[in-house]
Amino acid sequence: MIKLEKVSKTYRTDKVETLALKDIDLHVGKGEFVAMMGPSGCGKSTLLNIIGLLDRPGQGRVHIDGVALSSYRDKDVARLRNKTFGFIFQSFHLIPDLRVIDNVELPLLYRSMGNGERSRLAREALERVGLGARMEHFPNQLSGGQQQRVAIARAIVGRPQILLADEPTGNLDSKMSAEVMDILLKLNSEGTTIVMVTHDEQEARRVGRIVRVFDGQLVGKEHAHAA
Ligand SMILES: Nc1ncnc2c1ncn2[C@@H]1O[C@H](COP(=O)(O)OP(=O)(O)OP(=O)(O)O)[C@@H](O)[C@H]1O
């Protein structure tokens, strides 16, 4: 499903060069749930951005569902990203002036579908995360855990094959974190491939596989075992 070969990434500013990723080989099979762990600054977000086609590697190859990213032009990459991935962030990234239902509909605006269909899919996604009764609320009228569930509904509304989550429980207390993890595990059991960055060992142990990043490289052998 996701295959990275010898991926490296260097950030260059006027004065400094930072080698953020070095020779990453990673294979994530269809339907896997992978937790990515490592100290601050080791390259986890950079790796997630490259997997999610938000950034291109400096060197190396990225294959998504068997297709090499290098064969896509920029505008096709954007379309592939929108269709294939759902993104969840630590700080939710909801739009405060939009009602919950309108936030969830956002990713569908780029697809050709009528208002009725858009609204039906958004309602369905909100019901799946247990927020069917909060559609007309604004984000600041919800708890942190509920806001993250809205963000999950927004991430899954377009039925992506892959969910990428960057510390999705980082801003939540343990009860809300457990609720968010339950939803992610359920989505995974229904077939969605998930890659999640986390700092929480206990949480990571709930998922299928842990990939550890250190200083821009993968450590251990676990990254090689995927189907
Ligand atoms: N846009 C950028 N320009 C320059 N350097 C960057 C940029 N983004 C990241 N870096 C550097 O690349 C390295 C990896 O950063 P990255 O954000 O991927 O780490 P991380 O493991 O996600 O960290 P954290 O757990 O703190 O979020 C760091 O040394 C960081 O300073």
For the segment 85-108, the average pLDDT, to the nearest whole number, is 96
Q: What is the pTM of this model?
A: 0.93
Indicate whether 146 pLDDT > 90: yes
What percent of the chain has pLDDT above 70? 97
> Which position has the higher pLDDT, 220 or 127?
127
How many angstroms does the Cα of residue 41 sit away from the middle of ligand 1? 5
With a 6 A CB cut-off, is 193 part of the ligand 1 pocket? no
Q: What is the 3-state secondary structure (H, E, C) of the chain?
A: CEEEEEEEEEEECCCCEEEEEEEEEEEECCCCEEEEECCCCCCHHHHHHHHCCCCCCCEEEEEECCEEHHHCCHHHHHHHHHHHEEEEECCCCCCCCCCHHHHHHHHHHHCCCCHHHHHHHHHHHHHHCCCHHHCCCCHHHCCHHHHHHHHHHHHHCCCCCEEEEECCCCCCCHHHHHHHHHHHHHHHHCCCEEEEECCCHHHHHCCCEEEEEECCEEECCHHHCCC
ipTM field: 0.95
In single-letter form, the type of residue at position 53 comes to L
With a 6 A CB cut-off, is 174 part of the ligand 1 pocket? no
With a 6 A CB cut-off, is 21 part of the ligand 1 pocket? no
Q: Note the pLDDT of residue 179.
A: 93
With a 6 A CB cut-off, is 42 part of the ligand 1 pocket? yes
With a 6 A CB cut-off, is 20 part of the ligand 1 pocket? yes
Determine the residue of 7, 8, 42 to mutate for testing ligand 1's pocket, defined as the one with the most ligand atoms within 8 A of the Cβ atom. Answer: 42
- The mean-pLDDT minimum among 12-16, 42-46, 89-93, 196-200 falls in 12-16
Q: Note the pLDDT of residue 227.
A: 42
Question: What's the mean per-residue pLDDT of the chain?
Answer: 93
Q: Note the pLDDT of residue 92.
A: 96
With a 6 A CB cut-off, is 11 part of the ligand 1 pocket? yes
How many angstroms does the Cα of residue 211 sit away from the middle of ligand 1? 18
Which CATH number belongs to the domain containing residue 211 in this structure?
3.40.50.300
Q: Note the pLDDT of residue 221.
A: 60
Determine the residue of 46, 49, 214 to mutate for testing ligand 1's pocket, defined as the one with the most ligand atoms within 8 A of the Cβ atom. Answer: 46
Domain count, the chain: 1
Q: Note the pLDDT of residue 84.
A: 94
List pLDDT tens digits, range 148-205: 999 999 999 999 999 999 999 999 999 999 999 999 999 999 999 999 999 999 999 9
Write out the residue range of the structural domain in which residue 44 sits. 2-224
How many angstroms does the Cα of residue 170 sit away from the middle of ligand 1? 17
Q: Note the pLDDT of residue 223.
A: 55
Q: Note the pLDDT of residue 110.
A: 81
With a 6 A CB cut-off, is 41 part of the ligand 1 pocket? yes
Q: Note the pLDDT of residue 158.
A: 94
List pLDDT tens digits, range 50-66: 999 999 999 999 999 98
